[in-house]
Every structure is written in C-alpha cells, then in structure tokens.
Amino acid sequence: MSNYSFSEIEQLIDARALVFAVLSNVKKGVEKTFNKVDIKPVIIKEEWLYQVSSYQDNKVKHENVTSEGLKVFFAEMLGPYFKQGQLYTIAADLQILFNKKGEGTVLKKAPTRLQVSLDHNRKKNYLIPEGSPCDFMKALGVMDAEGNVYKKMYDKFRQLNKYLEFVEDSLPFLGDDLTIIDFGCGKAYLTFALYYYLVKLKGRRVSIIGLDLKQDVITFCNETAKQLKYDGLLFKMGDIKDFEFNDAVDMVVSLHACDTATDEALGKAVGWGAKVIYAVPCCQHELFNQMKNAQMAPLLKHGIVKDKLATIVTDTLRAQALEAVGYTVQMLEFIDMTHTPKNILIRAIKADKTDEALFSDYKIYSDFMNVWQVKPRINTVLAKYFNKSL
C-alpha cells in the first residue's frame, strides 16, 4: 500500500497503459450529478481517445475525451468527487481509496485484465488484417499474393494476430531500439510476425535472433528472412542452455520449449535483465515424481490427475519465482501453435519492486515449494538472483 499521487495517473495515461477504470462512492456533501463513471480507451478515426460513461440512476451519458482531457477529469473527480477508484492497467490493478481528510492510498495487485480491441464500433480488427498483402505471410504460405488467407491456414492467421495482441500490451514497457531473443523458434511463424509487426507496423528498430535445434529449419528461416530483406532477423542453431549473448536483451520469447528448457530460457532472460518475457511451457515432467503432500494425497493418487497437477504446480512456481526476482507476472490462456491443447502463457514485465516486496514474493515462492516438497529447475537457475530477496 502506498500514498496516492496524481502523477502516477498521468504516467499511466501517457503510457497508454490504462485498460479500464471505475470511479465510485460519491463524497458526502458534494452536489451529486452522477453515481459512477466507467472509463475505457477507444480509437475513433485513428485517434486514441477515452470513452467516459457517467451513470445516474437508469441513465448513462457517454463522452469521448483526449488523454489530456482525461487527466483533467481524474484531477477534478478522483478525490474531490469520488472516494474510490478501481484502475485496471497492463502492469497492475490499482484500488485507490480516499479518507474523510481527502488523503488517498493505493493498493496494487496483479493485473487481471488485458487490453481489448479499441475499435469503437466493436468490429474485429486484426493487427495484420485479412485482404491486405503481407510479405511474410505469403512467404510462409498463410496468404496469397492478394492478401487472402488460405482456408487451411486460417487458424494460424488468427493465432498470429492473437500473439501480436499480447505483444502490443507490452509496448509501453519497451523502447524504440529492441534486441529480442526467440528460443525454440521452430518454423518461426511467430518470429516473422513479431519482426513484421514491430518494424513495419510500429516503426521500431529491432534485432531478433531465433534459436532452434534443427539445422534444416534454421536454413529455411534464414533464406526466407534474406528473401524478405528482414535485415534485423537472424536464425541460429543451438541449445538454449548453451546459448550466450553479451549485449543487453530487451525481450525474450520461449514458446513451447520442452520441460526444463523453459527454465533455462527464463534464467537467460533474467540474467540479461529483459524488460519483457513471454513463455509458453510444455511437457512439464520434472515434478511428477518429486511432489509429496499428505493432505493432497487424493490428487497424487491417479497418474492422469497427478500429471495435470504437476504442470500447474511447475508453472505456478515459475511465475512466482519471476515475481521474487523483480517481475510482475500474468498467467494467461494461449492457443498452441500446433492446434492442439490450450496452454498457459507466462508474461513477465520487469518492475521496480522494493526489498520488502521482493522478500514477500520470495517467501510465497519458498513456502509453495515446501508445501509440495520439490526442488524445481527454476530454483537452481534463478538461485543467484534471489539474493536481494533474502
């Protein structure tokens, strides 16, 4: 819990990090013109605005304001008029409460909402739209030359756009010059999509290295990148745990790295101080034979249940370990690129945490390990980064 500062609201608006907000609980003694306000970002005629919906009894009034207009609205309403604000942002959920003296406090929790489509009329707009020719999608067999998506590739097309929506939520935390490592890139649909989106659509200066164990895949991807003149995109053959990179890395991606390879990728990312991490783990077998808990014996009795539980415990430990070394973490549902089961996406954003917060996060992580009597690979990989928490 911390003291309320209006500058924090201004920073959220400037970073376009506000996903949704609710202002409520009108102060006693003020002239009541409405009971509650909802706020959400919208894009109208290519302009970023905020829709302010004011509720009074059964009536609602909608008004679209600019970022500067929203700052003025917050200054006049949150505190002077409303005693409570619930703000959902990309990085955290904020509950803001004001006492009788007008003093505000802020309680931060893990984020629970993602940025949604900002199209005002609710029409589904893909970041890479159908009907608009896209060079990498043509090269990888997703689209034809006119931008029409092949029927058999439509799931892939939707999945690529869904992935980019996740990435778009992280842009406020990334600069204009980016170095990105993509572990286990495979045929690299997502890697090419990421490069295209950041360079051609967002105008960022980007260097991406894709790593995979299969030489034929690496050869194909490098030839394709050369044909497309994606000069900042390079593919290398190698194992995650053996990969070395001496410069700063802004973002690390590890989608479907098998078993403890995910932990190796997370360790590399933390070591580089990556601002943003995306990981979709798979094949979490490590803890299956480690887990012990007398109270949870019924869950461990049947192999099929135990296997699912081991996956959940493994990914929860990974997420909490990242919290304990200074990240804010979300666990989201992500569709597998091979069109099989849905998986968990771990999205971690580097945060400025106090020593007290780090210690608290580490305590939760350590206690959870002890509950299941396990020593996961993530613990060994991140051990040297826990020092600040101890």
Domains of the chain (ranges plus CATH)?
2-109 (no CATH), 135-389 (3.40.50.150)
Structure confidence at residue 340 (pLDDT) = 44
Q: What percent of the chain has pLDDT over 70?
A: 93
Mean pLDDT of the chain: 89
For residue range 104-156, what is the model confidence (pLDDT) as tens digits?
A: 899 988 888 766 555 544 445 688 888 888 999 999 999 998 889 998 898 88
pLDDT at 68 over 50: yes
Cut 0.85: pTM above it: no
- Span 32-62, pLDDT tens digits: 888 899 999 988 767 889 999 998 876 788 8
The whole-angstrom separation of Cα 247 and Cα 311 is: 33
pLDDT 10s digits, 145-204: 888 999 889 888 988 998 899 999 899 899 999 999 999 888 899 999 999 999 999 999
The pLDDT, as a whole number, for residue 72 is: 93
The pLDDT confidence band at residue 390, using thresholds 50, 70 and 90, is low
Report phi then psi at 316, rounded to 5.
-65, -40
